[in-house]
Homo-oligomer: A and B are copies of this chain.
Amino acid sequence: MMYGSIEAGGTKFVCAVADESLEIIDRVSFPTTTPEETMELVIQFFKGYQDKLEGIGIGSFGPIDIHRNSPTYGFITSTPKLLWQNFDFVGTMKKHFSLPIAWTTDVNAAAYGEYAFGKGKGLSSVVYYTIGTGVGGGAIQEGRFVEGFSHPEMGHMMVVPHKNDSFTGNCPFHGNCLEGMTAGPAIEKRTGKKGQDISPDDELWDMLAYYIAQCAYNTTLMLSPDVIIFGGGVMKQRHMLKKVHQAFEDLMQSYVKTPDLTNYIVTPELEDNAGTIGCLALAKEAKIHL
């Protein structure tokens, strides 16, 4: 028995198959081009395992339609990637594979990976953010994604500008929202450099920590989760987590008694595998709940 995973990102797709214990057996990656070209490669990859596959989990860039009763369930909807607008992702897979298909956002899938096998294991309520090319977030409570009329878009929450930060933000919709201030392109536009080329002493990191701490603060007040996990490139800077903890304490002023910060605001255990592991776990779930 095997499970399949599709991490469908805006710049690349990662497909994998794993055995019953979700050990990865094979994995491929290719750039996101047109739906025709990209899906041809996806289908080709999984055809090689067709006889053994029991389910496929998809974590897709969005926005996507998650409502099972909707006529466009399984579609990528109003994405700025025009070629992929209104693309019937789940339908395309169903045409080629008669299998249970789990369908969620890329960041929800990563959240599920950490919930099932990472820093969220055994906890009731888990929130996961990725701060990279963009900023996204997903939340799970007792095994279910937090959602309603659609999936969340946590990366665009409002943040209060840092007193020394004159950057007006990079988000085409909101300017200085969380993504507009902290994502990779915002760092490059602000400094002319990539994050990895900026000294750990630069005040930029204090500014980013202030914004990320606001995100953790608002998340705490809105969801009171058991853990908040920050993945993505920015948090790979080893000095960041401590700065975020400090900025969070300064904001919270002990108003809410959270779990100890070293266990509450954390980086991912599965690192960059969270998405693939999450898709596989969702594929296994999809089979069970068919």
Contacts and interface: CB of A to CB of B under 8 A. Distances in A.
A147 interface: yes
A124 B69 CA distance: 13
A158 B256 contact: no
Interface stretch (A192-200, A211-219, A268-276): A211-219
Contacts of A285: none
A219 B219 CA distance: 10
Given A146-B146, A149-B259, A255-B174, A157 B78 contact: no
Interface in A137-158: 137, 139, 141-142, 144, 146-158
A152 B139 CA distance: 14
Interface string A155-166: 111111100000
Contacts of A173: 252-255
Contacts of A148: 123-125, 141, 223-226
A222 interface: yes
Given A125-B147, A173-B253, A253-B173, A221 B78 contact: no
Interface in A205-257: 214, 217-226, 251-257
Q: Which of A125, A141, A257 has the most CB of B within 10 A?
A: A141
A258 interface: yes
Contact of A222 (B161, B219, B224, B226): B219
Contacts of A155: 221
A253 to B, nearest CB: 4
A174 B160 CA distance: 13
A217 B158 contact: yes
Contacts of A264: 149
Contact of A150 (B123, B139, B256): B256
Given A160-B160, A251-B174, A222 B256 contact: no
A107 B155 CA distance: 27
Contacts of A257: 63, 78, 150
B158 A159 contact: yes
Given A146-B222, A148-B223, A158-B217, 17 more contacts: A63-B256, A123-B148, A124-B148, A125-B147, A139-B222, A148-B226, A149-B224, A149-B264, A151-B224, A152-B223, A153-B220, A156-B256, A158-B158, A173-B254, A174-B251, A218-B222, A219-B222
